Amino acid sequence: MEKNLYWVTDGTYQAAFLTTRDGVVLFDAPPSIGHNLQRAIDEVASANGVSNTVTHIVYSHHHADHLGASSLFGRDVVRVGHAETKVLLARDNDPARPVPDVTFETRRTLHVGGERIDLAWHGTNHTPDNIYIHFPDHGTLMLVDINLPGWAPYDSFNLNEDVPGSIAAPATAMAYPWKHFIGGHMGRLGTRDDMVVYQRYVDDIISGVKKALVTVDPTPFFTKYGNNAWGRGQDVPGRAGRLRLRAGHQEVHRRPGRRRRLHGQHHVHHPRVDPPRPRHRHPNPPMTDAGNSRAGSIRF
Ligand SMILES: [Zn+2]
Residue 272 in this model has a pLDDT that exceeds 90: no
Report which of 9, 31, 27 is spatially closest to residue 17, judged by C-alpha positions.
27
Q: How far is the CA of 48 from the centre of ligand 1 (A)?
A: 33
pLDDT of residue 219: 87
Mean pLDDT over each residue of the chain, to the nearest integer = 83
248, 233 Cβ separation under 8 angstroms: yes
Taking each helix axis from N to C end, the angle separating 192-215 and 163-174, rounded to the nearest 10 degrees, works out to 150
For ligand 1, the distance from its centroid to the CA atom of residue 183, given in whole angstroms, is 11
Q: How far is CA 111 from the centre of its chain?
A: 25
Q: How far is the CA of 274 from the centre of ligand 1 (A)?
A: 10
Instruction: State if pTM tops 0.95.
Output: no
Class of domain 5-205: alpha beta
Segment 189-194 shows an average pLDDT of 98
Proportion of the chain above pLDDT 70, given as a percent:
75
CA of 126 to the centre of ligand 1 (A): 7
**Ligand 1 mean position to 91 CA, how many Å?**
16
Min mean pLDDT across 26-35, 48-57, 209-218 is at 209-218
Q: What is the DSSP letter of 60?
A: S
The predicted model gives 101-108 an average pLDDT of: 98
pLDDT, position 271: 47
**Residues paired with residue 115 on neighbouring β-strands, in sequence order:** 112
The answer on pLDDT for 287 being more than 90 is: no
Q: Where are the domains of the chain?
A: 5-205
Residues β-bridged to residue 108: 119
User: In angstroms, what is the span from residue 59 Cα to ligand 1's centroid?
Assistant: 11
pLDDT, residue 58, reads 98
CA of 46 to the centre of ligand 1 (A): 32
